[in-house]
Each structure stands twice: as C-alpha cells, then as structure tokens.
Amino acid sequence: MRRMHVLAGMAIILLAFAAAAWIVISPGWAVGFVQAKVNEALGRNLKVSGGAHLQLAPALAIRFDGVSLAGPSGMDGDFISAPSLLVPITVSGLIAHRLDVAAITFTEPQIDFTIDEIGRMSWPAASVTGGAGIKFYLNNAAIRFRDHRTEQSFALSTANLAVEQSPAGEITLEGTAIINGQLAKIQAYVKDVARASGQGSPAELAVQAAPLSVSFNGRLATSAGLGLAGTVTVSGEDLRQALRWTGAKVGGALGLKAFKLTGSLDATGRAFGMLGADIMIDDIAARGDVTLDFRGGVPKLQALAAVEAIDLDKYIAPAGGIPGEWGTSALGFAALRGLDGGLTIETRNLKYSGADFGPAKIAAQLHSGRLDARIVSGSSMDASVTLDGSGPTDGFALSYTGRDGDAARWFGPLAGIAWLGGNGVFSANVSGTGKTQQEIIATLKGEAHLALANGALHGLDIGTALAAVSAEMQDGWPAGGKGDTPFATLTADLTIADGIAAIGNLKLESPALTMTGTGDIDLLRRALDLRADPRLVTGAAAEPVGLPVAVVIKGPWARPRIYPDMADIVANPKAAYDALKALGFPQAFDSAGGN
C-alpha cells in the first residue's frame, strides 16, 4: 500500500513538473509578443487566427498560422495574408518567453501593393515609433501592384525574396520571381519609403531576365503615379522578345536582335521616356530620345534618333522573288498591328536593295497596323510609303520623286533593269493590294514620269542597228550586248492600271538620233511591248532619216529584242530586209556600220 502511495506521489510530481514545463515553453505567449513587435516596426496590426505552434524541424521556431498584416485605416483588405508566419527561437528564449523578430518568414503570402483613387498606399511607410528594423523572408509569394489612379498594374509570382526595412525607412530587397512567365533576378533599394510617397526617395533597381536586363539609379516617387527619374540601362539579345515580354504583340522576325539603351529615364505610371539615350540595335549605333507608352490598348513607341547608316534590307522581309520574277512569299504586313507609334531618324547613309541613297531623314507613323513613312534625302529624293496591314488584304502605296538621281540606282537593284543610264527625275504615285509582292504588282495603279539627261541605253546601239538592217536584227540587241545609244534627253509618261503601264509619249533625243514611241509595260511579267520611230540625224543638212516602218521593242525588260514591225522579220529576215529596201530604206545604211 505504501508503495502505491509513493508511485502515485511521483506521478503527481511528474505531472506537475510537465505542466509547469509546458506552461514555461508553451508558445501561446508569442502571439501577443510578435504582434507588438510588428506593430512597433511597421505601425500595422498583425492578426493571428490559427494560434502559435512550436516547430522543432528543420530548426527550432514558432509557427503562427492564419496570419495577415492589416492595410491602412480606410482601405479595404489586408496588405499581407499568409497561411503561416515562422519566427526562429532559441531554447533560452523559449524558456524566458523572449522572441527575436528581427527576421521572420512568410510562407506563400499574398501581398497587395495598392494605391487607391485618392493616393493612399497599402504598404507601411516606416516605423512610427522608431523601433527596431525587421527583415522579412517571402517564400513562394504572389505579389500584385495596382495604382487605381493610372490603372498601372503588374504581378510577380513564385517570388522568393529577402526584404529588410530599417528603423529609418530604408528598404532593401533581393531574390527571384516570375514576371510575365520569365524567371527574373531582382535587387532593389529605397532610401526612405516615406519620402517616396511625397517628393520622392533615392532608389536603385536591377532586374535580370532572359528577355532583358534593367539597371536603374535615381529617384522613386508615388505621389502622381509610380514614377522613376534617373539613369537607366536596358539591354537584351532580342528586342522583339523583350517587347513581347512587356506585353506588346510585336510581329516579324527579321532584325531587331541584340540591343542596349542607356540614358536618362523619366517614367510615370505606364509611360516611360529616355532622353539623350545612347542606342545600339543590331549593328546600328544611334543617339536620341525614346518613349514607350502602355496606357492604351496597344503599346505606343516614339523615337527621335540620329544614325550613322541604316540598311533597310535587314528589316524588310524577303519577298521570295527570284531573278526576273516578283516575290510570292507573304509580306506579312499584319505584323504591324501589335505596336503603334512614331519614328524620326536622320542617317548619313540609307541603304536598300544593294543601293546607297546617301543622307536621309525618315519620318514614320504606325497606327492600327498601317505604316505611313516619308523618306527625304536632301533635294534628291522625296518618297512617301504606306504599308497597310490593318485589313484582311495587305495594301501598298508609294509616292516617289527622285531628282538628279542615277537611273541605274533606281531601276537596277529594284527591278533588274541594268541597261538604262542617266541622271534626272523619276516620279511615281502608285498603289496596289495583295498578300505578296506579285499580287500587289498585278493590281498596281497610278502614274509615273521619267525625265533623264546625258545618259545611254546600254547594250543597244540603235544607230548601228538602223545602219545594219540584216538577218541579225531578228536577234534583237547587237551580239554580245555591245554598244550603247547615248542620249541628251529621254522622257516618258506612264499611266498604270491592273499592273500594266501604258506609255503615252516616249521621246529620246541626241545629236545623232531622235526616237519617239508608245506602248505598254507589263509590270507583272516584267516585259516591254513598245513601238518606236527611231531616226538618225545624218548628212550635212542634219536631216533625220529612219525606217519606213515602226520599230518594235519587245520582250523581257531585262533584255528585250528590237526589230522592224514587219510580219516576216523573224521567219524570213532576208525577204523582210528586201521589202524594207522596196519601201525606200536609204541605201546609205545598207551595210553594217555604215552611216
């Protein structure tokens, strides 16, 4: 019996000891402790709905379940809500009921940075009591920002960040997060978060992601919208990919690869401007001003820059043509729909299709898939180009005036016409529709004018051809493409409809030769069908002498044939030649080379 009493007494003692120990180490006391410390550091109430629990692994800590950090008075919703909040503790701290809240961890928190319509912010400005600073670890956080004044918003997911706030209101942040589907490394510093809501606070920001990297040093202010002012560097390996990451639906794939912009940033809300920026895109170095505005449904880009040289071939997709034929590849003007804006560029040398056009100024406007551009090169060239991808069928329009220019530069690289030389004026006002270069040429309409001086028809010696009316005329150009027809002036007017250019008057004049003509140019097939009246100026009286029949210039415009307009000239050149004599062709030109 006595032994039973002893055992019972020992059990009571053990239970009492266990109860006392539990009273000592029970974490219930920590709820009020952590609430007081957080309120001291941030001036906000911390709610704990799930109580405190002792956690032994992976390290000794107290876990607070169902936590939320209140927003400011008058604003709906909490600033932070999380399934749990973890605070490390030592054994001695547990026994002494002393908790160090210098570093706490939120697990899967939802954080709402909000600015309401009257400018109130959801996040704490600074310690209102001058208490100790606090460091937050955010594990797998979802962070949202929205400014109801400007409708600026963005979100970060899967954020793993270390955030520290000093008693003076300094904020430092470092870690990673998913931004628009891309993992980004983030570093940020704000010197005084309270000043940021007023006139602004010194701030630094660095973001590194696959689409681009950003480095900013300057001032952060939220009084009129989330604003940044300072120096910034933005770089990446693919400009289109970077713009798409920011939300722009930019099409195309040619050019616009590696880029770097450095300059003075002035950003408010969803509008960003860089002044005096040094710009490098592909191998183009430029300096100018750039703005990017996300306030509308479609991002709007504005740029004013000076560039050493621009090669348009790097940015205009190949049309899919082969020598002698127009392209059949889709031009893809619909890719213009994803971005609006304006661009003004001055360059020392504009290049296109292998031709150098010299110094030029380009002014372009892009809206709803329609690009209107004007290109001016001093007094020598003035062109307006429209590429319209706004509808189901692409559209093209060109108004061009070239003065004191070389015909070989106009027609050689662009159309494959290498036989026409001379300087003068070429103007055109044309338009067409279609999804390919071939379709647009087939629907082309408008008018054009050509006036050249001191040039030549290369590879065609009309004077020799007139003087050597023989069987070789059936072969068109003199053998081997030898000889030229020099001229003092060459003029022509063209009226274009359905891809056919009708020549109203063609006139060539030189001291030794005059020629007039009419006919058609099939732009789609790149073919000529002209009738001309060439006349040699001969003899002491300088009288023009020509064939008694018209001359036909016909065939591919890269290498047409020329022959008298007689039915049997190809089938029976000897008979045709005799017929010419019978019609009165001058005998003085009856042998090759005679004149």
In this prediction, the residues of the chain whose per-residue pLDDT falls under 50 are 14-24, 127-130, 470-481, 568, 583-584, 586-595
Record the tokens describing residue 490, joined without a space.
């060459």
In degrees, rounded to 5, the angle at the alpha carbon of residue 398 between the alpha carbons of residues 394 and 401 is 170
In the block, which residue shows the tokens 């600033």? 79
Residues 6 or more apart whose CB falls under 8 angstroms from that of 76 comprise none
In the block, which residue shows the tokens 């900013």? 216
Which residues on adjacent β-strands are paired with residue 104?
A: 136
In degrees, rounded to 5, the angle at the alpha carbon of residue 492 between the alpha carbons of residues 511 and 327 is 125
3-state secondary structure 508-529: EECCCEEEEEEEEEECCCCEEE
CA neighbor of 28 nearest in space, from 68, 65, 70: 65
Cα(369)–Cα(195) distance, integer angstroms:
43
Residue burial 538-552, b: 16+ Cβ < 10 Å; e: rest: beeeeeeebbebbbb
- Quote the pLDDT of residue 132: 62
Determine how β-strand 134-147 pairs with β-strand 103-107. Answer: parallel
Cα(67)–Cα(310) distance, integer angstroms:
59
Number of H helices, E strands in the chain: 9, 32
Q: How far is CA 417 from the centre of its chain?
A: 33
Cα(184)–Cα(187) distance, integer angstroms:
10
CA neighbor of 71 nearest in space, from 106, 112, 36, 130: 112
Under DSSP, the state recorded for 278 is: E
- Quote the pLDDT of residue 317: 66
Residue 157: phi and psi, rounded to 5, are -125, 165
Cα(570)–Cα(94) distance, integer angstroms:
113
Q: What residue type is assigned to position 365 of the chain?
A: Q
Write the DSSP assignment of 537-550 as a string of letters: EETTTTEEEE-SS-
Determine how β-strand 110-115 pairs with β-strand 445-458. Answer: unpaired
In degrees, rounded to 5, the angle at the alpha carbon of residue 393 between the alpha carbons of residues 389 and 394 is 40
E runs forming strands in 51-166: 52-55, 61-70, 78-88, 103-107, 110-115, 134-147, 152-165
CA neighbor of 386 nearest in space, from 407, 409, 369, 408: 369
Which residues on adjacent β-strands are paired with residue 111?
A: 80, 143
Write the DSSP assignment of 224-260 as a string of letters: TBSEEEEEEEEEES-HHHHHHHTT------SS--SEE
Cα(309)–Cα(318) distance, integer angstroms:
20
